[in-house]
């Protein structure tokens, strides 16, 4: 194994703690510096993590950093990515890849010209939950897949997040926030989506922050908060997707796949590991299956580690910019279809990423 990639983190908000917790497991990554618009917060995090605190400007041009982990709010994803690439660095970012496919295509083109990699969350699909579900599908245990159903709903992130405003701005909402976990899983299972239709809405319900120093403040809502879509995959599978910030309680199944010989219950794709269950035509009782594929004990950062290994070995990385771009186009097309009441044909396509075999992971690299 080669030397570790030096990682510079831009944005040390809530999600960064999950990445920091995983870095000690990932021997091909070395935390080299952190940066944030809040310099005091960056200094505090750097002290805890035993690394340097830099300004954002300084980190993006620092010659000692190989890859920028972009954990900024969605509105800044493309700008930070482009500046990192111009500084000669690979980029791995939180989802979505950018606010629009126009912005995202600029990021991918700039990286390609520079010979640099772009990766993007979610990497939860590389854990044992989704990878085991994929292995079951690919084995033919439920026959040929016909359709899938996704249902993720909640009342709204203002009930738990101390600074939830960005969830209700472009790049947020239930589709752009939670949709990538499910849509990336669907593309991992069935391949690219060729066209979409759907409906979108938002209620007039006032959103009030429930926790933290801003408790009681009203959050402006500039995104659709209830989204239902039909996805037609190129291979003929039809997926239905509902995501919402409008539901106080539900008994709907979260994620199921329907095949000619059975049904697969897919675990939460916002998590790396959970139980896969199957019911077949010959036995309609649910049977829990052991993990049979995926990175074991994975967490946020494994997608970046996978990218580092791919750079070293010259193979494609799994949580790729191209996959994130296709997912972004799916989401963008769902909004267009819903608002304009029409079917939208997608322009992009993408290959299914390589599966993660059982026993893979940093310990074997």
The residue among 253, 274, 289 that closes a domain is 289
The residue among 222, 254, 289 that closes a domain is 289
Domain with 234 in it: 124-289
171 & 265 share domain:
yes
**Predicted pLDDT at 364:** 54
The CA distance from 191 to 134, in Å, is 11
Tokens of 206: 């006032």
29 Cβ neighbours under 8 A, 6+ residues apart: 4, 5, 7, 23, 301, 304, 305, 308
Residue 346 domain-assigned?
Answer: no
Q: Is the per-residue pLDDT at 363 higher than 60?
A: no
Band of residue 50 on the pLDDT scale cut at 50, 70, 90: very high
96 & 135 share domain:
no
The CA distance from 133 to 147, in Å, is 14
Q: Is the per-residue pLDDT at 3 higher than 90?
A: no
**Predicted pLDDT at 358:** 81
Q: Is the per-residue pLDDT at 362 higher than 70?
A: no
Domain total of the chain: 2
19 & 106 share domain:
yes
Q: What percent of the chain has pLDDT over 90?
A: 96
How far lies 278's CA from each of 68, 130, 147, 216, 290, in Å? 40, 13, 15, 45, 11
Average pLDDT over residues 228-248: 98
Average pLDDT of the chain is 96
In the chain, % helix, strand, coil (3-state, to 5) comes to: 35, 25, 40
Average pLDDT over residues 164-191: 96
249 & 279 share domain:
yes
Ordered alpha helix ranges (H), the chain: 16-22, 39-49, 56-61, 77-86, 101-114, 128-139, 173-190, 302-313, 321-340
Its pTM stands at: 0.95
**Predicted pLDDT at 311:** 97
Is cis: bond before 221, omega within 30 of 0? no
Write out pLDDT tens, residues 247-303.
Answer: 999 998 899 999 999 999 999 999 999 999 999 999 999 999 999 999 999 999 999
């Amino acid at each position: 194994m080669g030397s570790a990639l030096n990682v510079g983190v831009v944005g040390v908000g809530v999600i960064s703690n999950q990445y920091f917790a995983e870095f000690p497991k990932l021997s091909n990554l070395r935390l080299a510096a952190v940066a944030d618009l809040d310099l005091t917060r960056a200094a505090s995090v750097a002290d805890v993590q035993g690394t340097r605190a830099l300004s954002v400007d300084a980190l993006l041009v620092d010659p000692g950093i190989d890859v920028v982990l972009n954990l900024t709010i969605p509105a800044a994803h493309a700008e930070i990515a482009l500046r990192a690439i111009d500084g000669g660095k690979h980029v791995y970012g939180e989802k979505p890849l950018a606010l629009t496919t126009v912005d995202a295509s600029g990021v991918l083109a700039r990286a390609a010209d520079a010979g640099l990699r772009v990766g993007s969350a979610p990497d939860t699909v590389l854990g044992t939950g989704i990878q085991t579900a994929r292995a079951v599908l690919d084995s033919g245990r439920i026959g040929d897949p016909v359709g899938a159903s996704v249902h993720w709903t909640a009342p709204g992130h203002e009930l738990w997040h101390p600074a939830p405003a960005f969830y209700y701005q472009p790049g947020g909402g239930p589709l752009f926030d939670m949709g990538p976990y499910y849509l990336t899983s669907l593309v991992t299972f069935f391949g690219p989506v060729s066209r979409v239709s759907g409906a979108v809405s938002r209620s007039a319900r006032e959103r009030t922050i429930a926790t933290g120093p801003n408790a009681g403040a009203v959050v402006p809502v500039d995104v659709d908060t209830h989204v239902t879509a039909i996805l037609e995959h190129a291979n003929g599978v039809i997926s239905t997707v509902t995501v919402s910030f409008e539901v106080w309680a539900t008994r709907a199944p979260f994620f199921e796949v329907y095949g000619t010989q059975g049904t697969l219950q897919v675990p939460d794709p916002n998590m790396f590991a959970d139980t896969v269950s199957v019911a077949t035509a010959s036995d309609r009782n649910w049977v829990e299956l052991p993990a049979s594929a995926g990175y074991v004990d994975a967490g946020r950062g494994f997608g970046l580690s996978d990218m580092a290994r791919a750079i070293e070995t010259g193979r494609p990385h799994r949580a790729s910019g191209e996959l994130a771009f296709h997912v972004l186009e799916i989401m963008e097309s769902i909004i267009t279809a819903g608002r304009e009441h029409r079917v939208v044909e997608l322009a992009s396509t993408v290959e299914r990423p390589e599966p993660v075999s059982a026993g893979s992971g940093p310990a074997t690299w």
